[in-house]
Amino acid sequence: MLPRRTLLALPFLPRPALAQGTGQTPDWPTRPIRVVLPFAPGGSSDVAARMIAPRVAALLGQQVLVENRGGGGGNIAAELVARAAPDGYVLFQGNAGVLAINPSLYRSLPFDPVASFAPVGMVNSVANILCSPAGRPWREVAGLRAAMLAAPETIRAGNSGPGSIGHLAAVQFDLLAGTRSVHVPYRGGGPMSADLIAGHLDCAFATVPTVQAAIEAGTLRALAIGTAARSPLLPALPTVAEAGLPGFAVANWDAWLFPRGVAPAIVARMAAVLRGVLEDPSLRAELAKRGMEALPEAGPAAVQAAIASETARWAPIVRASGATPDG
């Protein structure tokens, strides 16, 4: 997790530097730009990208197309962008899982989270909610924990992929609670949430955008929120720590990155455009309704700092948990 106060303390490229560094890019963009996502449609990253892309397109005067490339724990999409021509027409919307967890999860990666990319800026942070189908007998974290302790390795906990934030959140829950759940991986938050709502899973740490409607409709029951503090969106919902697991705190974030080698003037211009879009009060309000917080203050340097700090934070957790790409 990277709390907002930590993000704001990270270095970022201030507005004057962006303005001075844009230079002249008269030939960019002259055709559509692709934003490649590492997961299937329907997850929080997908929701955010599809809200942001048309606003960026309006400012650049070219289409900004969202392309979902799931699989490989996000590595397939990351490699695709890392190997793309550095011409400013392909972006990667990476998250903490791909950029900061995968380096510890996989023995080798087909990309380097730092050396393969030119960061543009942070996009948003998003909370994870521990929830269960409404038909399950437990109504709070204590009840779920009791069920797990009573029948080890029978409670099915879904996640959006091996080593994802949701996966490691569930692993952390097991470590702190002394439980053993069955971790069931999917190719993204959308498919996982669909099975959770259908009752094929017993619980999951899911991002707010993927389960909010189901919680409001009563088909899913929210048990706790994974962040260190309660969410303004769901102020009555306790944190996992408050519900009996002190020290538990997990959140996710998204960032935009070009392949390494894109002209600095293009990177700076896109960073300025992204920041301007994320500062729009209407977009911030729409993101907030879906449990996401825009991060316009966090520019290219903040992305680099977030990758470094989160990689160091997650490495010992991945080792201690025994998590592998196969779940």
Residue 253 CB-half CA count within 13 A: 29
Cβ pair 173, 245 in contact under 8 A: yes
Residue 244's pLDDT is 95
Question: Using 50, 70 and 90 to split pLDDT, how confident is the model at 279?
Answer: very high
Peptide bond into 29 cis (omega under 30): yes
Per-residue CA distances from 4 to 46, 126, 246, 248 (Å): 21, 10, 20, 17
Alpha helices by DSSP H, listed for the chain, are: 4-9, 15-21, 44-60, 75-82, 96, 102-105, 141-150, 165-177, 189-198, 208-217, 264-278, 281-289, 300-321
Every domain of the chain and the residues it spans: 4-125+253-321, 127-225
Q: Residue 23: is its pLDDT beyond 60?
A: no
Q: What is the pLDDT of residue 109?
A: 95
Same fold, 4-125+253-321 and 127-225: yes
How far apart, in whole angstroms, are the C-alpha atoms of residue 274 and residue 257? Answer: 11
Does the predicted TM-score (pTM) go above 0.85?
Answer: no
Looking at 3.30.200.20, 3.30.428.10, 3.40.190.150, 3.50.50.60, the CATH number of the domain 4-125+253-321 comes to 3.40.190.150
Position 17, amino acid? A
| Token pair 């729409």 in the structure block, residue | 286
- What do you get for the CA distance between the two ends of the chain, in Å? 20
Ranges 18-27, 50-59, 85-94, 198-207: which has the least confidence: 18-27
* Amino acid at site 184: V
Q: Is the pLDDT of residue 236 over 80?
A: yes
How is domain 127-225 classified at the architecture level of CATH? Answer: 3-Layer(aba) Sandwich (3.40)
